[in-house]
Structure 1
Amino acid sequence: MTNTTAGDNFDLKEEIRDYWSKRSETFDLAFGHRIAPGPEAEAWQKPIRDMLGLRPQRVLELACGTGEVTRLIHDLGHDVTALDFSEAMLAVAKRKHAGKDRLRFLLADAEQTMEPDATYDAIVCRHLVWTLTRPEEALREWFRILKPGGRILIYDGDWATPKPFGRLVARLIALIDFCVGADRNYDGALSDRHGRIMQALPFGHGLQAAELIPLLEKVGFGAIEVHSHEPIARAQRKGANLRNRLRTFVYRRFILTCSKP
């Protein structure tokens, strides 16, 4: 795991914030971020429904971005605090969800939320954990702000190392890019910058559930379960073009749930 000084960590944080702020301009056009209504939305929403149940909960969504997962949580009837440390991302989310009750937006750092102890029934985050600059400290923070019995739902994956078959698929995608032009919305013109950020992150080598579980146990979480991401991938392939269908085969993705005793 990469060691960083406080100054290095701050500089990396600012780099990450600036990167995602720039991505906010076109992020909803990117396959894998936008959640299409219908089967895909239902597939993303099912783990949330399964974890939270029918009774309204107080939920913190970390790194809410443009508010795609925010909608799925809110539509189930829960009180949602949607947190992001990019003002640009929050601005998009606020416009998307203007006028809704039971919804609060918070400009803050997911690794140091500044929220009170034992505030939330649940935490949900999508594609956040791999970006953490201090993973163990962040998990301790999440443990602190959860109520006893509170749960976490994590959607994430290994974005650094393609699956063996995924390497071939990636070559096919590159061939499509060569023939018809790159999909600039997938990672815009910032893919090199994305790669440099990944190299500086503790999980830049690729996050796997097996690596995350010991950290969760060390912090105090229990009832840790890993769930298949494949139902979401299957739903994403419905109605997608060939290039985007292929993208769902490249990387290992997972869903993880755990709870605070």
Structure 2
Amino acid sequence: MTAMRENHGKNYNLRDEIKAYWSARAEKFDLSPGHEIFSEDERQAWLALIEKHLGKGNGRAALDLASGTAVISHLMDDAGFKVTGLDWSETMLALARAKAKQRGRDISFRVADAENTMEPDASYDVIVTRHLVWTLVDPTAAFTEWMRVLKPGGKLLVVDGDFVNVGFSEKLVKKLAAWLEKIGVLKKEPSHAPPEMAGKHEEILSQVHFSRGARADDVAALLRHAGFEAVMIDHDLKKIHRAQARHLSFFKATARGLQHRYAICATKPL
């Protein structure tokens, strides 16, 4: 049993650990490229990806799962969808509501578990998630739940990646960057995660379903098993990554470009 679980009693489980981790990350979440959007080029690249897979919004109902500080919710709103954001972290949602108010956006936010949304049956035209699937404790239950709340013919867009398996090239880039930092040639990049959370990410990752990495083919297979049709894997996220790279160091941008990142679009049968 982990120290965190011991501190919160025997009923404190992995889902609570995940909630606590992201709540602790909330304050500085938007400071990181790849979390918030820092350029119009990146915003347009995201909008192109959304339209490619989900089409025009035209006021259709969209559910942003694990909405965090509402970066994707705002993109969906830009694309013309009527957006509801769900997140398990009240801290994240407080920031999301403040951001929406500041920008004058009509987006609803509610506290909910992505694996048990409590939303009505067949109530959404589309569902979108970013960097959620790799954290799921029970993806089969989650995908079944998402199928339930989608309307017949509704679409799911998953944007995620395998952040566990590091290829040879990525390892080489990271080792070179670490060595250059060690000898003082390269300035160490600031971390936006609280120091006390060091190691917590790896501890949580070791316990989730995709602890060995959320590979696109494995996620797609589970979606098909849950009943989704027309499951398509899209690895062409280059425009998004190029735009993000302008706000990252050369080595970090290079390493990110070598990672197994993808979008998956799937459809609920009619």
The verdict on a shared fold, with TM-score over 0.5 as the criterion, is yes
Query: What are the Cα deviations for residues 201-244 of structure 1, in whole angstroms up to 9, with x where unaligned?
Result: 11011101111112111111001111122232122223533244
Q: 1:193 matched to which residue of 2?
A: 200
Q: 1:152: which partner in 2? A: 156
Taking structure 1 as reference, are residues 257 and 117 closer, same or farther at Cα in structure 2, changes over 3 Å only? same
**AA aligned opposite 1:201:** V
Matches within 5 A, 1:144-223: 144-178=148-182, 179=184, 180-185=187-192, 187-189=193-195, 190-223=197-230
Aligned to 1:216, the other structure's residue is in SS state helix
Summarize the Cα distance change of 1:175–1:69 in structure 2 as closer, same or farther, 3 Å threshold.
farther
Tell me whether 1:20 sits opposite 2:27 in the alignment: no
Distance 2:31 2:59 in 1: 31
Separation in 2, partners of 1:92, 1:51:
28
Q: Deviations over 1:162-213 (max 9, x none)?
A: 122111112133235433234211x442241100100011101110111111
Q: Distance in 1 between matches of 2:47 and 2:250?
A: 24
Which residue number in structure 1 is paired with residue 263 of structure 2? 255
Structure 2 residue matching 1:155: 3-state secondary structure? strand
* C-alpha displacement of 1:246: 2.8
> Which structure 2 residues correspond to residues 43-54 of structure 1 after superposition, within 5 A?
43-54=45-56
Number of aligned pairs? Answer: 254
Q: Structure 1 residues 176, 13: CA separation in 2 closer, same or farther (over 3 Å shift)? A: farther
Identify if the C-alpha distance between structure 1 residues 181 and 188 changes in structure 2 by more than 3 Å, giving closer, same or farther.
farther
Report the counterpart of residue 68 of structure 1 in structure 2: 71
Residue in 2 that maps onto 1:82: 85
| Aligned partner of residue 206 in structure 2, secondary structure | helix
For the 8 Å contact 1:31–1:244, the answer to whether it is kept is: no
| Distance (whole Å) between structure 2 residues aligned to residue 194 and residue 157 of structure 1 | 15
Looking at structure 2, the residues matched to 124 and 163 of structure 1 have their Cα atoms a distance apart, in angstroms, of: 28
- The answer for the alignment partner of 1:37 in structure 2 is 39
User: Percent of aligned pairs with the same residue?
Assistant: 39
Give the stretch that moved more between structures: 69-78 or 82-91.
69-78
Q: How does 1:107-126 map to 2 (within 5 A)?
A: 107-126=111-130
SS at match of 1:25: helix
Alpha-carbon separation, structure 2, partners of 1:234 and 1:75: 21
Q: 1:34 to 1:172 in 2, by over 3 A?
A: farther
Larger Rg: 2
TM-score (norm 1): 0.91
Distance 1:164 1:91, change over 3 A: same
Q: 1:182 to 1:176 in 2, by over 3 A?
A: farther
Cross-structure match for 1:236: 244
User: Aligned partner of 1:217: which letter?
Assistant: R
Deviations 1:133-170 (A, max 9, x none): 01100000000000000000010000011122111112
Cα distance change on mapping 1:168 and 1:120 into 2, 3 Å: same
Give the drift of 1:253: 0.5
Moved more, 176-185 or 86-95: 176-185
In the alignment, which residue of structure 2 is the partner of 1:127? 131
Q: Distance in 2 between matches of 1:111 and 1:196?
A: 21
Gaps of 5+ in 1: 1-6
Q: In structure 2, what is the equivalent of residue 96 of structure 1?
A: 99
Cα distance change on mapping 1:134 and 1:172 into 2, 3 Å: same
- What amino acid is aligned across from residue 169 of structure 2 in structure 1? F
- Could you tell me whether the CA contact under 8 Å between 1:173 and 1:246 is conserved in 2? no
Over 6 Å off, 4+ runs: none
TM-superposed deviation, 1:128: 0.1
Gaps of 5+ in 2: 1-8
Deviates more, 1:13-22 or 1:231-240: 231-240
Q: CA RMSD in A?
A: 1.9
